[in-house]
């Protein structure tokens, strides 16, 4: 549709007037120095906010408004951001821009809208923003020392709240480290198999003498020779010429066997229901894999011939058919069992933990401490926090003792995180949305453009839910 518009051109004969002529404007249709109507300009801006440059240009071309991606971004960057109103409850969190470069996002916990975004996560930037916007009463954050210092410098009267999610996440990470350090106890979660005749051909793991085992034993002894010296893992790594992660792995291990890669037991397959039949037919004298495969196919087996051939291979050497065994859980899985509410654990996990705790008192002690903290979080009761931190220190578990030291340094914020309803949930939601917008722009957008889109999109969604 083509609109032909005729407007008047007005003349001013005032001597002091710097502009001699004026073009008449039509409300809702024309704007001074603008080649688009307000409605079309709004469409261009919304396309830029929602889809950025390339995506916005494609949408506008479909709508018969041809614009390049550069023009769409130019119109987007011209848009004014909403004025900042100092929030009573402020959320602070960091996010990864790329590699090891991070940014900071500020969120109004009351309106759940982003306020500010900048590159970096140093204390001085946050302190300067807080000094420029006085009136913040509560600040929700994670356990970052940088943000703690920035809030203390910029808003010393504000109440700092250490987020419950990050507290639980930090405890779960330490539980995972403890489970990894007691990796040798994890096979105890598997129930005892049915007794079978011992196989003389198989040597026990501890008796095997291979170059890999000798190397693991040598490194274990070298790393543990420094135990009690007070030297850091980095110093030990430099002394031995090893990677720090390797030194940490051997330092956590209770024995050198825990550092040797084991061959995992075979998992169950669709051939398992037919193993007894294959063993019976072998004893009857049928040793041809093709014939055995055809016979079990007639009984309903849908697998390949090659699997049957591999299954009867031990019988040709006079060995029994390898039957599946239950694989021990990984340290991460055991840590998940320990940190999960007991009522939500399945029967298998509950029985496995029971067998594990009978064998490993350290993991039993870890479980008891985790459940104590979970009860504090569930009841919003921090009266036992000091005693719980003392129990962490006295647990003889370095991972929990280190956590207790970190929490004591931030005990006031931890106390607020347990007892008050304030949390960083809105921060995490905004960070998730921010990462989505960053990926839409293929990670090539600068911080100013990312800031423009994140803030404007949040207000646009509030306007058009």
Tell me the C-alpha distance between 370 and 170, whole Å: 11
Taking alpha carbons only, the member of 187, 186, 191, 190 closest to residue 338 is: 186
- Does residue 21 share a domain with residue 71? yes
Q: Is residue 246 part of a domain?
A: no
Distance CA 129, CA 95 (A): 18
Instruction: Decide which of 35, 52, 78 is a domain's last residue.
Output: 78
Domain identity same for 435 and 405: no
Give the integer Cα–Cα distance in Å for 93 and 464. Answer: 26
- Of 46, 78, 110, which marks where a domain is finished? 78
pLDDT in tens, the chain (465 residues): 677 878 888 888 777 787 777 888 888 788 877 788 888 889 999 999 998 888 999 999 999 999 999 999 999 999 999 998 999 999 999 998 887 889 999 999 999 999 999 999 889 999 999 999 999 999 999 988 999 999 999 999 999 999 999 999 999 999 999 999 998 888 888 776 554 444 444 344 444 567 778 888 888 888 888 877 778 888 888 888 889 888 888 888 888 877 876 655 556 678 888 888 998 999 999 999 999 999 999 988 888 888 888 888 888 877 777 655 567 888 999 999 999 999 888 888 898 899 999 989 999 999 999 999 999 999 999 999 999 999 999 998 999 999 999 999 999 999 999 999 999 999 999 999 998 888 888 767 789 999 999 999 999 988 887
In a domain, 60, yes or no: yes
CA geometry: angle 56, 60, 61, nearest 5 deg: 115
pLDDT at 265: 58
**In terms of domains, do 387 and 448 share one?**
no
DSSP conformation class of 184 = G
Coil/strand/helix, residue 368: helix
> Is the CA virtual torsion 256, 259, 262, 268 positive or negative?
positive
Contact present, 377 and 417 (Cβ < 8 Å): no
Whether residues 177 and 112 share a domain: the answer is no
Residue 204 included in any domain: no
Q: Please report, for the domain that includes residue 127, its CATH number.
A: 3.30.420.10
The CA-to-CA distance between both ends of the chain, in Å, stands at 30
Per-residue model confidence (pLDDT) at position 258: 79
Q: Please enumerate in sequence order all residues whose Cβ is within 8 A of that of 409, keeping only pairs 6 or more positions apart, or say none.
A: none
* Partners of 463 in the β-ladder: none
Query: What's residue 300's pLDDT?
Result: 87
Whether 138 is covered by a domain: the verdict is yes
Cα atoms in the 13 Å half-sphere on the side-chain side of 458: 26
Alpha-carbon distances, residue 406 vs 344, 363, 375, 389, 403 (angstroms): 30, 21, 20, 10, 5
- Same domain assignment for residues 110 and 49: no
Angle at 335 between CA 329 and CA 339, to 5 degrees: 135
In the prediction, which pLDDT does 322 show? 65
Q: Do 407 and 354 share a structural domain? A: yes
Q: How many domains does the chain have?
A: 4
Beta bridge partners of 116: 106
Q: Is residue 102 part of a domain?
A: yes
Residue 249 lies inside a defined structural domain of this protein: no
Q: Which domain holds residue 368?
A: 168-182+331-416
What is the C-alpha separation between 244 and 348, in angstroms, rounded? 36
Distance CA 217, CA 257 (A): 8
Residue 323 has a pLDDT of 57
Q: Which of 454, 461, 459 is nearest to 52 (CA)?
A: 454
Structure tokens at 428: 């995490």
CB atoms within 10 A of CB 317: 7
Residue 207 in any domain: the answer is: no
Residue found under tokens 């594990």: 356
Residue 175 near residue 338 (C-beta atoms within 8 A):
yes
Mind listing the pLDDT tens digit for each residue in 350-361?
988 999 999 899
């Amino acid at each position: 549709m083509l609109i032909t518009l005729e407007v008047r051109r007005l003349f001013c004969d005032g001597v002091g007037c710097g502009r001699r002529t004026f073009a008449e404007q039509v409300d809702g249709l024309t704007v001074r120095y603008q080649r688009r109507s307000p409605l079309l300009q709004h469409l261009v801006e919304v396309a830029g906010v929602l889809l950025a440059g390339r995506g916005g240009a494609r949408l506008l071309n479909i709508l018969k408004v041809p614009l390049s991606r550069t023009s769409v971004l130019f119109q987007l960057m011209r848009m004014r951001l909403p004025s900042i109103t100092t929030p009573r409850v402020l959320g602070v969190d960091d996010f990864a821009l790329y590699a090891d470069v991070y940014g900071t996002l500020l969120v109004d916990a009351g309106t759940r809208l982003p306020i500010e975004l900048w590159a970096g996560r140093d204390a001085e930037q946050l302190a300067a923003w807080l000094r420029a916007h006085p009136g913040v009463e509560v600040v929700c954050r994670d356990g970052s020392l940088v943000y703690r210092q920035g809030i203390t410098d910029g808003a010393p009267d504000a109440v700092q709240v250490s987020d419950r999610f990050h507290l639980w996440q930090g405890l779960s990470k330490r539980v995972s480290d403890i489970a990894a350090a007691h990796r040798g106890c994890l096979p105890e979660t598997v129930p005892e198999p049915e007794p079978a005749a011992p196989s003389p051909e198989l040597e026990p793991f501890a008796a095997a003498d291979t170059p890999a085992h000798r190397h693991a034993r040598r490194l274990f002894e070298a790393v543990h020779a420094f135990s009690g010296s007070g030297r850091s893992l980095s110093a030990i790594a430099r002394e031995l010429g090893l990677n720090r992660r390797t030194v940490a792995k051997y330092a956590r291990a209770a024995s050198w066997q825990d550092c040797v890669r084991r061959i995992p037991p075979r998992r169950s397959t669709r051939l398992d229901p037919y193993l007894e039949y294959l063993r019976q037919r072998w004893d009857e004298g049928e040793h041809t894999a093709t014939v055995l495969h055809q016979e079990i196919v007639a009984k309903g087996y849908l697998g390949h011939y090659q699997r049957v051939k591999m299954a009867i291979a031990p019988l040709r050497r006079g060995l029994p058919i390898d039957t599946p065994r239950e694989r021990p859980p990984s340290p991460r899985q055991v840590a998940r069992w320990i940190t999960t509410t007991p009522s939500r654990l399945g029967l298998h996990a509950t029985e496995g933990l029971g067998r594990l705790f009978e064998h490993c008192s350290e993991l039993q002690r870890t479980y008891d401490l985790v459940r104590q903290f979970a009860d504090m979080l569930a009841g919003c009761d921090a009266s036992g926090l000091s005693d719980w931190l003392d129990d962490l220190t006295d647990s003889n578990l370095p991972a929990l003792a280190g956590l207790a030291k970190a929490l004591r340094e931030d005990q006031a914020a931890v106390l607020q995180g347990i007892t008050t309803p304030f949390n960083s949930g809105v921060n995490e939601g905004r960070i998730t949305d921010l990462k989505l917008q960053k990926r839409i722009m293929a990670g090539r957008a600068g911080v100013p453009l990312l800031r423009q889109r994140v803030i404007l999109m949040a207000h646009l969604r509030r306007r058009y839910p």
